[in-house]
Structures are given as C-alpha cells and as structure tokens.
C-alpha cells in the first residue's frame, strides 16, 4: 500500500502524530473504505472551481495540523449550494480559525461532497497495551456518547466477527429497518470493519483511528470524517 506508507513516513519525518483528514481519507480509500469525494483548495477561487466539479451541496472543512476538532474551531460549513456560498464559506472558515487559534498552520480547505443523511455509525480502532489493535463499532451520536452501546473485538477480524459486532448491538434494530427508514447495508458495514482491521494490522504505528460518522445507506455507506493518530 504505497500511498499509505508515504503518508505515514512523511508524518513521522515531520514529527506529526495526528494525520490530516485528507491523509486519513487517502489511506482509507487505499484500503477500500468508501469516503466522500474531496479536493484541497488553497484559495476562494480554487474552492469554487472544485465545488463545480464535485457538485452541490458542498461541505467545506479546515485542514490544519493544529486543529483536531474542526467543528469546535468553526472549521466546518455544510450544505453550501453554489459557487458564491463556497467562496464566502472559504473566507468565513479562515476568519473563524484565525479567531480560534491565531497561529494555526492552515494547509488549505477541503472541498467535499456532502453525503446525504443516512444512519450514522462509527468504526474505531485503538491500540490496547495488552491486547493490541482493537476494533470498535457502534451507532453514532447518543448511542455512543450516552448509552455506550458499542462492541469491541481484538483484530484481526473475520467477516463473521464483524457481523456479530453489528448484530449484537442493542440498537441493531435501527440498522435493520424501522418505520420509514429502510434497512442499512450490513455487508457494506462488514466490509468497512474488516478493511479497518486489515489497515491497523498492516500499520502498527496507528494508535487510534476514528471513522466518525459513517453514513449507512440502504445501498452502501460513506465515511464523512476520518481521524488517524500515530504513536
Ligand atoms: P469534526 O469531527 O472534526 O468536528 P467532521 O468532519 O466530523 O468534523 O464534521 C462535523 C459534522 O459535519 C459531521 O459529524 C457531519 O454531521 C457533518 N459533515 C461533515 N462532513 C460532511 C459531509 N461530507 N457530508 C455530510 N455531512 C458532513
Ligand atoms: Mg467528526
């Protein structure tokens, strides 16, 4: 996995522990994890040009090694509908970041396809000092934060392990279809979990990985935010 190796090597050389969202998403793509289409822009004009190529609505996000939680820094704008909104959004994010952390290094702004709302799920990995790479799966939002309804398994995982992690959640009925919500694509989620397992087994330098949220759809799934922290 050539791009993955290059990205990890470069981060090490620069003494960076947190990978940029762009880097994390390139790595995810190389391992077959679906992510939202994106392009890095370095100016308002570039952002508007790229938005035209990707198609509306658009999400803009700050790319900075000094900003880990982008929303908290005013670094995320969603649902931008035309080139003017994108160009203004670009300016707005730069302004917000300067207010939040005047000396933050700004790599650029990510112009990103806006994923339609799906059922939000989370895949994580954490390197446990005793058990090694451990994978986590849960539903997003309150299910993780308040109800702690998540399952862990030590990697490497088989598709059957991954399936169990999904179906044994208390909230599983939400993925299985209810009222007006069609069932989520469980095979797509199994693939993401297994690919994550493969990735962290291949790259032992990964200390933490967070795909949060992933939108699960009736057909397929898409990772909206990816974070990777190295040892
Ligand atoms: P952070 O977690 O660093 O604050 P995220 O990239 O997770 O930043 O963005 C914050 C929220 O914005 C996400 O949880 C999601 O609800 C929404 N969001 C971000 N990117 C997209 C996207 N490409 N499509 C749809 N929604 C998005
Ligand atoms: Mg996030």
pLDDT digits (tens, 9 = 90+) for 121-144: 999 999 999 999 999 999 987 777
**Of 178 and 101, more confident:** 101
Q: Is 191 in the pocket of ligand 1 (CB under 6 A)?
A: no
Can you give the pTM of this predicted structure?
0.95
Tokens for 231, please give them: 């040892």
Q: What integer pLDDT is reported at residue 145 of this predicted model?
A: 72
Q: Measured in Å, how far apart are the chain's first and last C-alpha atoms? A: 20
Alpha helices in 83-185 (DSSP H): 83-100, 142-145, 159-167, 172-175
Sign of CA dihedral 173, 174, 180, 186: negative
The response to whether residue 184 sits with its C-beta less than 6 Å from ligand 1 reads no
- Which residue out of 78, 121, 140, 145 has the highest number of ligand 1 atoms within 8 Å of its CB and is therefore the one to mutate? 78
Do 122 and 136 form a contact (C-beta atoms < 8 A)? yes
Tokens of 74: 């005013």
171 C-alpha to center of ligand 2: Å? 21
Minimum CA distance residue for ligand 1 atom 23: 114
Look up residue 11 and give its two tokens. Answer: 């981060």
Ligand 2 centroid to Cα of residue 210, in Å, is 8
Q: How far apart are CA 174 and CA 228, in angstroms?
A: 28
Counted residue by residue, the chain has a size of 231
State whether the beta carbon of 79 lies less than 6 angstroms from ligand 1. no
Cα distance between residue 65 and residue 78, in whole Å: 21
Is the shortest distance between the CB of 94 and ligand 1 below 6 Å?
no
Please state whether the peptide bond connecting residue 57 to the residue before it is cis, i.e. omega within 30 degrees of 0.
Answer: yes
With bands split at pLDDT 50, 70 and 90, how would you rate the model's confidence at 179? confident
Kindly give the distance from the C-alpha atom of residue 56 to the centroid of ligand 1, in angstroms, as a whole number.
16
Is 153 near ligand 1, meaning CB less than 6 Å away? no
d(CA 170, CA 156): 24
Q: So what's the pLDDT on residue 143? A: 72
pLDDT of the residue at 102: 95
Is residue 110 a contact partner of residue 63, using CB atoms and an 8 Å limit? Answer: yes
**Lowest mean per-residue pLDDT among 24-33, 128-137, 144-153:** 144-153
pLDDT digits (tens, 9 = 90+) for 69-94: 999 999 999 999 999 999 999 999 99
Shortest-distance Cα residue to atom 17 of ligand 1 = 78
Given the CA of residue 72, which atom of ligand 1 is nearest to it? 4
**Non-local CB neighbours of 180 within 8 Å, separated by 6+ positions:** none
Cβ(59) to ligand 1 under 6 A? Answer: yes
- Measured from the CB, is residue 225 less than 6 Å from ligand 1? yes
Mode of pairing for the β-strands spanning 132-139 and 58-63: unpaired
Structure-token match 């991954």, residue found? 162
Would you call 94 helix, strand, or coil by DSSP? Answer: helix
The residue nearest atom 20 of ligand 1, judged by CA position, is: 224
Closest ligand, as measured to the CA of 70: 1
């Amino acid at each position: 996995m050539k791009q993955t190796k290059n990205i990890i090597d470069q981060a090490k050389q620069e003494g960076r522990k947190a990978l940029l969202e762009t880097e994390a998403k390139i790595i995810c793509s190389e391992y077959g994890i679906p992510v939202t289409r994106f392009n890095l822009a370095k100016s308002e004009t570039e952002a508007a040009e790229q938005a035209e190529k990707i198609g509306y609505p658009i999400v803009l996000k700050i790319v900075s090694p000094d900003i880990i939680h982008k929303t908290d820094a005013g670094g995320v704008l969603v649902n931008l509908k035309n080139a003017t909104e994108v160009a203004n959004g670009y300016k707005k994010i730069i302004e917000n970041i300067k207010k939040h952390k005047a000396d933050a290094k700004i790599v650029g702004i990510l112009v990103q396809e806006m994923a339609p709302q799906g059922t939000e799920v989370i895949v994580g990995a954490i390197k446990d000092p005793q058990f090694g790479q451990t994978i986590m799966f849960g539903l997003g939002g309150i299910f993780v934060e308040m109800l702690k309804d998540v399952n862990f398994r030590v990697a490497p995982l088989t598709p059957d392990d991954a399936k169990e992690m999904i179906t044994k959640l208390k909230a599983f009925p939400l993925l299985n279809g209810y009222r007006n919500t069609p069932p989520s694509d469980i095979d797509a989620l199994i693939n993401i979990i297994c690919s994550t397992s493969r990735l962290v087994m291949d790259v032992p330098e990964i200390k933490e990985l967070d795909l949060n949220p992933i939108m699960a759809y009736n057909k397929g799934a898409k990772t909206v935010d990816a974070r990777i922290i190295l040892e």
